[in-house]
Chains A and B, each alone.
Chain A
Amino acid sequence: MSFDPESVRADFPALSQLINGVPLVYFDNASTAQKPRCVIAATVAAYEGNCANIHRGVHTLSARATETFEAVRDKVLAFVNARAHSEIVFTKGTTEAINLVAQSFGRLVVGAGDEVLVSELEHHSNLVPWQLLCAEKGAVLKRVPMTPSAEIDADAFEAMLSPRVKVVALTHVSNAFGTVSPIAEMVAKAHRFGAAVLVDGAQAVCHGPVDVQAIGCDFYCFSAHKLFGPTGVGVLFGKASRLASMPPWQGGGDMITSVRFEQSEFAEPPHRFEAGTPNIAGVMGMGAAIDYVSAIGWGPFAAWERRLLVYATEELKRVDGVHIFGDTKEKAPILSFSVDGIHPHDVGTVLDSEGVAVRTGLHCAEPAMRSLGLRGTVRASLAFYNTEREVDVFVRALRSAIKMFR
């Protein structure tokens, strides 16, 4: 049975509003996705019914909060197919997860003259933490090039591997173009040289199943807010053996087993990496988001997104002067394009006046843009609740922008 997006749209309160007097067409899902009522309700419930600190109190309310909180860890474990509870660390989001790995694991294994490989396609958040690490350690940051079709150049990557490479940081799905990396193959190749691999999964977890065991990576990072969950919460998956070897990143409550004035003993993972009171309500909301997506099921979900992407791509290609970048066979429903003679910002402003929300500019991926000789693109990023009718509104608005500027 085919998936009907109309059946889920009512779950998302933000989708039914008017923008500039016309119905919102939300095509900026790669920036952040809208939240279903169940996610909003779960965060409210965390404050209304279960508000207590976790891992601390003997009282019933604290025990209940702790239990609900830790149950989300189990949901995440199943969601990405991790092996153990200890492999799931809650963070503020993808960015914090990457910084945690760079500063704890990176400082441990990267020394002067060692190499860190980062692809040119990365979001700034999977580049800048490695720049900081390499500058601190006197290590060499190396650029894995991308192809003109906005994919990581897998052959060039293979040629760059050597025993000097200690860490490899790669995106699973490009935020700027939606292209998909052959991530499991790349991980296997890096492992042959003993390098650890961190995968930025921020744009992947919201479009299909992720299996960290099948990928084989050492670290996998994602944010809840792109997965229809709350902002300010995310996940670091780390292989148990890796996390166990890593020193704490931040110090504070909840990450210790005993504290003397002079020194402390640190808790085992995952708590070693969760200093201070976490975003409890955010974690509860993330749990609800995982439940929501799981209830729909990846099959119907992905099939609809695929159909929507094909339709939008065909319609967009019909528009004179439009060039789509990263138009590969297998990709997430992200359309990154330029329009001859019109700056992305001007396109974005006209689309917005027709109720269509897209992102314009460099998409926090300036090196990737430069590599393709671009000064920015218009990015329409779709989600399973978008419809073909919305694609029509978008294309019509785009045509009116072109008419105005030509």
Chain B
Amino acid sequence: MTPEVAKLYQALILEESAHPQNRGPLAAATHNASKHNALCGDQVTLHLVLEGDRINQATFEGDGCAMLLASASLLTEAVRGVPSADATALVDIIRRLVQPEGASEAERARLGKLTALEGVRNVPARRRCVTLPWETLDAALLEHG
């Protein structure tokens, strides 16, 4: 196995994808969005509870590969208690994180566990698997924006 693929599937990713957090419907959701990847058919739905400008709760539904599940799981944890403007900023950082040049050191410092997603930097075919939940977050926040 190449070092790139070993990094892609590091322990945290395997753990998150095997036991995703906050997976399921959310009756109290105020914001919802769904996206799918036409290439593989994977899809993700995101449910958010916003109180004022703050995301109080987030869950996801959907099925997909390990990268998508880990990304969605980490997302729902990362945005809880976060103002929506900060969540939108996080989407931008994730978009940069998965590109070959990556995110800046200052940006990476804000990400915590989410830096585990940067393994796709060198596996371009799998980039969208990571960004799909974040695109969905963007759409959910914009919907009532």
Please, which residues of chain B bring their CB within 8 A of the CB of A400?
1
In the complex with contacts A343-B65, A349-B125, A360-B5 CB distance below 8 A? no
Find out whether the CB atom of A345 lies under 8 angstroms from the CB atom of B126. yes
Please, which residues of chain A bring their CB within 8 A of the CB of B129?
345
Residue A353 contacts which of B4, B40, B67 (CB distance < 8 angstroms)? B4
Query: What is the size, in residues, of chain B's interface with A at 8 Å between Cβ atoms?
Result: 21
Q: Which of A164-194 contact B (CB under 8 A)?
A: none
In the complex with contacts A345-B129, A369-B41, A350-B5 CB distance below 8 A? yes
For residue B66, CB closer than 8 A to chain A, the reply is yes
Q: What does the 1/0 interface line of A344-377 toward B look like (CB < 8 Å)?
A: 1110011011100000111000100100000110
For residue B8, CB closer than 8 A to chain A, the reply is yes
Least CB distance from A342 to B in Å reads: 8
For residue B64, CB closer than 8 A to chain A, the reply is yes
For residue A259, CB closer than 8 A to chain B, the reply is no
Compute how far the CA of A353 lies from the CA of B125 in the bound complex, rounded to whole angstroms: 12
Compute how far the CA of A354 lies from the CA of B6 in the bound complex, rounded to whole angstroms: 12
Least CB distance from B17 to A in Å reads: 8
Compute how far the CA of A405 lies from the CA of B1 in the bound complex, rounded to whole angstroms: 14
Find out whether the CB atom of B14 lies under 8 angstroms from the CB atom of A405. yes
Compute how far the CA of A116 lies from the CA of B72 in the bound complex, rounded to whole angstroms: 42
In the complex with contacts A346-B65, A349-B8, A375-B1 CB distance below 8 A? no
Number of CB contacts from chain A to chain B under 8 A: 55
Find out whether the CB atom of B2 lies under 8 angstroms from the CB atom of A20. yes
Find out whether the CB atom of A366 lies under 8 angstroms from the CB atom of B41. yes
In the complex with contacts A400-B1, A405-B14, A375-B42 CB distance below 8 A? yes
Find out whether the CB atom of B123 lies under 8 angstroms from the CB atom of A349. yes
Please, which residues of chain B bring their CB within 8 A of the CB of A405?
9, 14, 18, 66
Compute how far the CA of A361 lies from the CA of B67 in the bound complex, rounded to whole angstroms: 15
Q: What does the 1/0 interface line of B1-34 toward A look like (CB < 8 Å)?
A: 1101100110000100010000000000000000
In the complex with contacts A343-B66, A345-B126, A404-B14, A350-B1 CB distance below 8 A? yes
Compute how far the CA of A347 lies from the CA of B4 in the bound complex, rounded to whole angstroms: 15
Q: What does the 1/0 interface line of A78-117 toward B look like (CB < 8 Å)?
A: 0000000000000000000000000000000000000000
For residue B106, CB closer than 8 A to chain A, the reply is no
Find out whether the CB atom of A344 lies under 8 angstroms from the CB atom of B8. no
Q: Which of B118-140 contact A (CB under 8 A)?
A: 123, 125-126, 129
Find out whether the CB atom of B125 lies under 8 angstroms from the CB atom of A376. no
In the complex with contacts A345-B129, A349-B125, A404-B9, A362-B40 CB distance below 8 A? yes
Compute how far the CA of A21 lies from the CA of B1 in the bound complex, rounded to whole angstroms: 10
Q: What does the 1/0 interface line of B30-55 toward A look like (CB < 8 Å)?
A: 00000000011110000000000000
For residue B63, CB closer than 8 A to chain A, the reply is yes
Compute how far the CA of A20 lies from the CA of B2 in the bound complex, rounded to whole angstroms: 7
Please, which residues of chain A bring their CB within 8 A of the CB of B63?
375
Could you list some 28 contacts between A and B, CB below 8 A? Answer: A21-B2, A343-B65, A344-B65, A345-B42, A345-B65, A345-B67, A345-B126, A345-B129, A346-B65, A346-B67, A349-B123, A349-B125, A349-B126, A350-B9, A352-B5, A353-B1, A353-B4, A353-B5, A354-B1, A361-B39, A362-B40, A376-B40, A400-B1, A404-B1, A404-B14, A405-B9, A405-B18, A405-B66
Residues of B whose CB lies within 8 Å of any CB of A are 1-2, 4-5, 8-9, 14, 18, 39-42, 63-67, 123, 125-126, 129
Residues of A whose CB lies within 8 Å of any CB of B are 20-21, 342-346, 349-350, 352-354, 360-362, 366, 369, 375-376, 400, 404-405
- What 19 new A-B contacts, CB under 8 Å, besides A349-B8, A375-B41? A21-B2, A343-B64, A344-B40, A345-B40, A345-B65, A345-B129, A346-B9, A346-B65, A346-B66, A349-B125, A350-B1, A350-B5, A352-B5, A361-B41, A366-B41, A369-B41, A376-B40, A404-B1, A405-B18
Please give me the 6 A-B residue pairs with the lowest Cβ-Cβ distance, nearest first.
A343-B65, A353-B5, A345-B65, A361-B40, A353-B2, A346-B66
